[in-house]
Amino acid sequence: MQQIDVVVVGGGQSALAVAYFLRRTSRSFVLLDAEQHPGGAWQHGWDSLHLFSPASSIPGWPMPPTHEETPSRDHVLDYLTRYEQRYGFPIRRPVWVESIEPHPNGLLVKAGAEAWLAQAVVSATGTWRHPYTPRYPGQTLFRGQQIHSAQYVNPEPFMGKTVLIVGGGNSGAQILAEVSRVAEAHWITLADPQFLPDDVDGYVLFERATERWRAQQEGRVWDEPAGGLGDIVMVPSVKEARTRSVLRAVRPFERFTESGVVWSDGHEIAVDAVIWCTSFRPALTHLEALGLVEPDGRVQVNRTRSVKEPRVWLVGYGEWTGMASATLVGVTRTARSTVQEIEVYLDQRER
């Protein structure tokens, strides 16, 4: 059992941002990453995945420029790999954290035959390992292919097929854009997709979200354009799909059959594959032994600190752990404040 001040569970952008601020303290820490290689969930993104804005960076070192309009998945992976090398973070991989348990002298972090006794734990595992797929009547009878966007790589396997793209966010729009070039693609969404103006990118959305947050903190009324972080950004591939008039979505079908789906009017169509672009849930199985995970899959937090177990912080899971904290450009604020809280807690504990 290795004794250490802070254990960070995860090795992606949120974990690296936390490590950057921990490195500026005198505290001992380690990052435990379940992946084989650097980059977190970015190494599992589809081949054509790009950022929504020209550049996004985590603290300390700006992302190098790229010749493309927006950075590609591979450019982001290279940046994150070089980032952790630049700062020489203490990272162990692959290490799968099975559980975190209370201990008389801290929190016991277990991973196979190894264990760490930590005074504080930061959970930064993200959501990629916990994709969400809704349930429909007859779904288990369907003999076609079903994958989540987490497993989607490129459109080649769907060439010449009839494919349902389910989900109205950015992943649904981008996957529809490229699958529709090689297949008969149908876009299924709960409501009409919300498209942003062509000149609004991800960075503009972050700035708007920041201003909304400031207005809430100051008790001001925010009456500027909304533009949620889940609205569809008109990246080049989606603009191209618009020129082909394929950005048309219909409401969900009623049920599956063995060979297809049935719509609300009773009409049935044959379907070869379904790609579920239906978001993710927090990957928090390592916290279950502490009894922190609520029925909705989240943890009760005050800012990023667990309410029930004040030695645990969570970074990068979505708005409930900090505004835009699941984005490259947005995680810095919550990473900084989290490390500040940990420093205060450890200082008080040692007095």
> pLDDT tens-digit profile of 301-315?
999 999 999 999 999
Give every strand in the sheet of 145-148, ordered side by side: 145-148, 273-276, 162-166, 184-188, 249-250
Judged on CB neighbours under 10 Å (0-12, 13-18, 19+), 225 is exposed
The answer to whether 101 and 107 have CB atoms below 8 angstroms apart is yes
**Which residues does 239 contact at the CB level (< 8 Å), separation at least 6?**
198
Three-state SS at 105: coil
Task: Tell me the pLDDT of the chain (351 aa) as tens digits.
Answer: 899 999 999 999 999 999 999 999 999 999 999 999 999 999 999 999 988 777 689 999 999 998 888 889 999 999 999 999 999 999 999 999 999 999 999 999 999 999 999 999 999 999 999 999 999 999 999 999 999 999 999 999 999 999 999 999 999 999 999 999 999 999 999 999 989 888 877 666 666 666 666 666 667 765 555 445 558 889 899 999 999 999 999 999 999 999 999 999 999 999 999 999 999 999 999 999 999 999 999 999 999 999 999 999 999 998 899 888 888 988 999 999 999 999 999 999 987
Q: How many CB atoms are closer than 10 A to CB 88?
A: 8
Q: pLDDT value at position 225?
A: 52
Task: Please state the domain extents for the chain.
Answer: 2-129+280-350, 139-195+232-276
Strands (E), the chain: 2-9, 29-32, 91-92, 99-103, 106-111, 114-123, 145-148, 162-166, 184-188, 249-250, 255-256, 260-262, 268-270, 273-276, 301-302, 305-306, 312-314
Distance, CA of 185 to CA of 176 (rounded, Å): 7
Question: Among the CATH numbers 3.40.50.150, 3.30.70.1290, 3.50.50.60, 3.30.390.30, which is that of 2-129+280-350?
Answer: 3.50.50.60
Distance, CA of 286 to CA of 309 (rounded, Å): 14
Structure tokens at 151: 């497993």
Distance, CA of 304 to CA of 296 (rounded, Å): 17
Superfamily of segment(s) 139-195+232-276 = FAD/NAD(P)-binding domain (3.50.50.60)
Domains 2-129+280-350 and 139-195+232-276 share a fold: yes
